[in-house]
Amino acid sequence: MFMSQQLTLHASDFFCDQSLKLELIERNPQIPYPLHTHDFAELVIVLEGTGIHFTSGDSYQVNPGDVFFIEPGFAHGYRKPRNLRLYNILFDLSLLEHTLVDIRSMPGYHSIFHIEPKYRETHRFETKLRLSPDQMVSVTKLVEKICRELTETCREQGSRAMAFAYLIELIVTLSRCYRTNNPAKYQEITRLAQVFSYMEQNRSRQLSLPELLEHTYMSYSTLNRAFRLATGCSPIEYHLRLRIKDACRLLENSPLPITEVAYQCGFEDSNYFSRQFRKILRMSPRSYRKAYTHQW
């Protein structure tokens, strides 16, 4: 254990504009920073120098080109920086929970934002994204564009929208990089990410375990173990939760009958849909709509 006390950073101290909870901080240099958590997400891009990135139970060296995602609530800090310069892109996790066209169908997206953070200590940080020099040039240009749009003195109409657009371009670029920078050590994460991607592309229908196994070289036991490490549940349960999440969105934002909501989310039997909905959310679809629906 590296620290006896732990700091907590809050979104209210970083996001001035509640319409888009997105900020960018350049740490030049990054100084030693104690173990801390925050209630927002953070994407770290290491530009220059080296240092030790540590958690509550381990430590890892970071180098130029390293890119990694810090989930809300994850305790981390920095020690022994040597000319360490990095970008911290801070954002509310809900920004990535929307459909965002086909981003969620990209295996690299799931590798960076969902799977690698869960494997980090198991793989001793060896499966983080490492950008090549050419990739680093492209990524740095995108980050600089985000920074320019977020700078107070350069605010113009549409600047927040443009910053968000560049963030999406950055996420797509990094996701593609993870897919192409694919040494053997990434193999399990990449295969698991393909399953995540396949699930996202088939959110509106029921999937079977044999069907999922056809899209990976994993055995049932390996897939189940890997999925539980990454999500805390089985593959089938995770996919069911995706469909229930879509149902929640429809219940909140549309006047569709519950039977039609069930059908659009891949449930042919509305009674089965209601049972699964209640099992996960501890309330019926009707009660959920009454509590969270918009007024029509």
Query: Does the pTM of the predicted model rise above 0.85?
Result: yes
* Band (53; pLDDT cuts 50, 70, 90): very high
> How do residues 11-51 score in pLDDT, each as one tens digit?
989 988 888 899 999 999 999 999 999 999 999 999 999 99
Q: Is 168 exposed, middle or buried (0-12, 13-18, 19+ CB in 10 A)?
A: middle
Position 217 pLDDT exceeds 70: yes
* Band (3; pLDDT cuts 50, 70, 90): very low
CATH architecture of 7-180: Sandwich (2.60)
> How do residues 55-114 score in pLDDT, each as one tens digit?
988 899 999 999 999 999 999 999 999 999 999 999 998 888 765 778 988 999 999 999
24 Cβ neighbours under 8 A, 6+ residues apart: 87, 88, 89, 90, 143, 146, 147, 150
CATH class of 237-292: mainly alpha
Kindly list the domain boundaries of the chain, sorted by start residue.
Answer: 7-180, 188-235, 237-292
Angstrom distance (rounded) from CA 170 to CA 179 = 14
Q: What is the mean pLDDT of the chain?
A: 90
